[in-house]
Amino acid sequence: MSFKQVNIESLSTEVFSDIGKKWMLISAAKKDGSINTMTASWGGLGVLWNKNVFFCFVRPQRFTHEFTEESDRISISFFGEEYRDALKLCGTKSGRDCDKIALSNLTPFNNNGNVGFAEAERIIYGKKIYAGKLNPEAFLSDDIEKHYNNDYHTVYICEIEKIEEKE
């Protein structure tokens, strides 16, 4: 496992493909060192409040929500197509019911309180700077509500602290 730090200004990514089609893992660690992860295809990268940020969404009933709520840091990890089955598993199994990380054959590691995976192509580490529940009264398009059954995501905005790519 060998990663190199990437300067954010040199980051080249197809964010719509990487997140929306290839998917990512959202991961966090509790203070006791336990970790959890979940597959996601909603989120983004950008600039907000003069900071380079990523944003991601976690429903409150997901086991990962406990971890993203407790932790000051969240990471998003991107993988090659050969890990599609592992990502499917992490998106359909709950860490409450099984050790889905072990079942996925992914190798987690701790990076100064942030979670990474040895098999990832890219890991973006972030510090939470905002967390809030989506407010359905603020939806301005009629087709948004169909994604919910009164289980509105918590949105996390994280200042990007470091980006690593596999060497």
28: nearest Cα among 66, 70, 68? 68
How does DSSP classify residue 152? P
Interatomic CA distance for residues 50 and 113, integer angstroms: 24
Closest by CA position to 68, among listed 165, 166, 167, 157: 157
- At 117-137, the pLDDT tens digits run 999 999 999 999 999 999 999
Strand ranges (DSSP E) for 84-147? 108-111, 114-117, 122-133
Residues of the chain with pLDDT under 70: 1
Q: What is this structure's pTM?
A: 0.94
Residue pair 54/129 in contact (Cβ under 8 Å)? The answer is no
pLDDT of residue 15: 79
Q: What is the structure's pLDDT at 1?
A: 67
pLDDT for residue 14: 79
C-alpha pair distances (Å), 137 with each of 104, 151, 152: 38, 14, 11
Domains assigned to the chain = 3-166 (2.30.110.10)
Residue carrying structure tokens 């493909």: 17
Say what the alpha-carbon torsion angle 21, 108, 156, 149 is, to the nearest 10 degrees: 60
The string over 111-138, giving b where at least 16 C-beta atoms fall within 10 Å of a residue's C-beta and e elsewhere, is beebbbbebbbbbbbbbbeeeeebeeee
Q: What is the dihedral of CA 165, 13, 60, 66, to 10 degrees?
A: 10
